Amino acid sequence: MIGILKSMAQTARVVFRKPATVQYPEVHREIPNRDRAFPVLIWDEEHDEPFCTGCHACERACPVECMTVVMKDNPKHATGESKRRKIIDEFWIDYGRCMRCNICVEVCNFEAIGMNNTWAGHELSRFDRKELVMDLDQLMAQSKAGKVDPGLRA
Partner 1 sequence: MVLEQGHAVEIVDMPINMGPQHPSTHGVFRMVLAVNGEQVVNVTPHIGYMHRGGEKLMEAMDFRQGIGYADRTEYLAQFHAELGYVMAVERLMDLKVPDRAEYIRVILSELNRLSSHFMFMGAFGIDAGLFGTSFTFAFVQRENLLDLFEEVSGDRLMYAYFRVGGLAWEVTDNFVQRVHEVLKQAQQGIRDLDDLMTKNEIFMGRCQNVGAFSAKQAISYGMSGPLLRASGVPWDLRKDEPYSVYDRFNFEVPVGNYGDVYDRYLVRLEEMKQSIKIIEQALEQLPPEGPIVPEKMPRRLRTPPGEVYSKVESPRGEWGVYLVSKGGDKPYRLKMRSPSFCNLSALREMTIGQYLADAVMILGSMDIVLCCVDR
Partner 2 sequence: MLLAAPHINIDHPALRELAGLIVITLLMTVGVAYATWYERKIVARMQYRLGPTRNGPFGLLQPIADMLKLLVKEDLRPATADPVAWELSVFAIFIPAFLAFVAVPFTADWLISPLPLSLLYLVAVSGLSFIGFLLAGWGSDSKYALLGGMRAAAQLISYEIPLLLALLGVVMITSSADVYQIILYQDHVPLVVWQPLGFMIFLTASIAEVERPPFDIPTGESEVAGGVFIEYSGIRWSMFQLTSYVNMYVFALLGAFVFLGGWQFPFGTDWGWGWQLLLTVAKMSLFIVFYLWVRASLPRMRVDQLMSYAWKVLIPFALLQIFLNGLVIVYDAPDIALLLTSGAGALGLAYTAHKLVRRGAPRKPLQMVPVRARSSA
Partner 3 sequence: MEQVTAQKAAPATTPEKQVEGAPVVVPEREKTGIEREAERLTPAPFEPGTALYRQILPGIVQVPADALLAVSRKASLWPMTFGLACCAIEMIATFMPKHDLDRFGIVPWPSPRQSDVMIVSGTVTKKMAPAVKLLYEQMPNPKWVIAMGACATNGGPYTRYDRVMQGVDKIIPVDVYVPGCPPRPEALMDGLLALQHKIMEERSK
The radius of gyration of the chain's CA atoms, rounded to the nearest angstrom, is: 22
* Farthest-apart Cα atoms in the chain, separation: 86
Site for partner 3 contains 89 (CB under 8 A): no
Alpha carbon distances (Å) from 94 to 1, 24, 28, 91, 144: 58, 26, 26, 10, 20
Kindly state the smallest distance separating residue 65's Cβ from ligand SF4, in Å: 8
Cβ distance to partner 2 smaller for residue 7 or 79:
7
If binding is defined by CB under 8 A, does position 27 make contact with partner 2? no
Q: How many residues does the chain have?
A: 154
Using rule CB under 6 A, residue 103 touches ligand SF4: yes
Q: Which does 112 bind (CB under 5 to 8 A by kind): partner 3, ligand SF4, partner 2, none?
A: ligand SF4
Based on the shown chain and the rule CB under 6 A, indicate whether residue 62 belongs to the binding site for ligand SF4. Answer: yes
- Per-residue binding letters, 28-67, with partner 1 (x by CB under 8 A): ----x-xxx------------------------x-x----
34 binds, options ligand SF4, partner 1, partner 2, none, Cβ within 5 to 8 A by partner type:
partner 1
- Cβ(148)–Cβ(142) under 8 Å? yes
Does the protein bind ligand SF4 through residue 136 (CB under 6 A)? no
Q: Is 101 buried (19+), middle (13-18) or exposed (0-12) by CB count in 10 A?
A: middle
Select from 77, 86, 100, 153 the one that contacts ligand SF4 (CB under 6 A): 100
Helix (H, G, I), strand (E, B) or coil at 13: helix
